[in-house]
Amino acid sequence: LSVNPQIQTVADAGERALIERIRVRAGQPSRWITTGIGDDAAVMTMNRGEVVVATADSLVEDVHFRRSWTAPRAIGQKAVAVNFSDLAAMGAAPRAVLLSLMLPPDTPLADFDAMVDGVVAECEAHGASLAGGNITSSPRVLAIDVTALGGVHPRRTLTRSGGRPGDELYLTGSIGAAATGLALLEGSVDRGTLADDLADCLRRYEAPIAHVRCGRSVAGNRAANACMDLSDGLADAARQMAQASRTGVVLEGKQLPIHAAARAWSERSGADPVASALIGGEDYELLFAVPAKRRRGFLAAVKRAQVETTRIGSLTADSRMRWVRGDDSFELPGGYAHFG
């Protein structure tokens, strides 16, 4: 599409032209999408015997992002990544995305294009297609709601409720980085002067990576009893997995893979790095519950996905939710929840 230099906001362009811009930017859909953008609904074929895995998550201006802080492309990319993280936690392969945009009329057209490009880039990184959605005006707030659809064979589905007492808990990557990145933005940091490790925290907050390959590899190997992602922090995830599995949980404070810059950041502000890392949200790592006899298969599966994991605790037969450090034992804190 050629861009008319007179057209500067989404209101200038109009709904039909915006849909056409999305269609062009989305490119050719994958072979699973038989009807894509432009009909009443998208049509997606499944592989034989697969079930559909579906999740929706939204980013709302001034709640999840600020337009003055984060580039539109990163907003689009993150809106998809947080959904793919949910698919990864179920062991599913992302196939299609529906994009619902609620746009203030004065949204610059360049921002619109960049958001859509971010959505498409994240889809393409995981072999999925932007297949449909909806655009509407919104009087005051920009919001993006993304639905991600994936496929998985039913016996290879991971849930959060399958954990058993004695299962070992493993965590991908490291935690605390995203919360530190957010703190940097809240402190109006100058991006140009950031040390590399703090820049990494910012990247982890703004452009989280969905561990799709890891989730699928473990699920395909049937190497875990339960899995969930860490959107609202490790303490929250561990608590929810244990509740759904009707077990207790104990996390080893000394074992937690806390991001080095996040640890330094906590210490500098006088906070306990472990306590901070337990409640820090938005890391989008995966938490797995693995029976001891499947440990080797699990470690082989995560290695194939080229992801680091750390053993951080266990599910327990009692109903306590706690973390320990040496001989001290603490109740797991709550996670981030909307509306407090």
- Would you count residue 36 as binding a copy of itself (CB under 8 A)? no
- Would you count residue 242 as binding a copy of itself (CB under 8 A)? no
From 3, 24, 27, 45, residue interacting with a copy of itself (rule: CB under 8 A): 45
Q: What are phi and psi of 315, to 5 degrees?
A: -85, 145
- Would you count residue 282 as binding a copy of itself (CB under 8 A)? no
- Would you count residue 18 as binding a copy of itself (CB under 8 A)? yes
Contacts of residue 231, defined as CB under 8 A and 6 or more positions apart, other chains included, come to 82, 85, 86, 237, 281, 282, 284
- Would you count residue 135 as binding a copy of itself (CB under 8 A)? yes
- Would you count residue 127 as binding a copy of itself (CB under 8 A)? no
State the pairing for strand pair 248-252/321-325.
parallel
What one-letter code names the amino acid at 255?
Answer: Q
- Partner residues linked to 35 by β-bridges: 43
146 vs 261 by CB, closer to a copy of itself: 146
Which residues in 295-334 contact a copy of itself (CB under 8 A)? none
Nearest to 57 by CA among 38, 32, 84, 39: 84
- Would you count residue 28 as binding a copy of itself (CB under 8 A)? no
- Would you count residue 244 as binding a copy of itself (CB under 8 A)? yes
CB of 251 to a copy of itself, least distance (A): 20
Nearest to 181 by CA among 110, 293, 283, 98: 283
- Would you count residue 98 as binding a copy of itself (CB under 8 A)? yes
- Would you count residue 34 as binding a copy of itself (CB under 8 A)? yes
Q: C-alpha angle with apex 179: 325 to 148, nearest 5 degrees?
A: 110
From 140, 155, 268, 293, residue interacting with a copy of itself (rule: CB under 8 A): 140
State the pairing for strand pair 168-172/226-229.
unpaired
DSSP label at residue 30:
P
What's the first-to-final CA gap in the chain, in angstroms?
Answer: 45
Q: Whole-angstrom Cα distance, residue 99 to residue 87?
A: 16
Stretch that binds a copy of itself, among 65-73, 170-178, 227-235, 302-310 (CB under 8 A): 227-235
- Would you count residue 89 as binding a copy of itself (CB under 8 A)? yes
50 vs 252 by CB, closer to a copy of itself: 50
57 vs 168 by CB, closer to a copy of itself: 57
State the pairing for strand pair 129-137/93-103.
parallel
Site string for a copy of itself, 156-175 (x = CB under 8 A): -x-xxx--------------
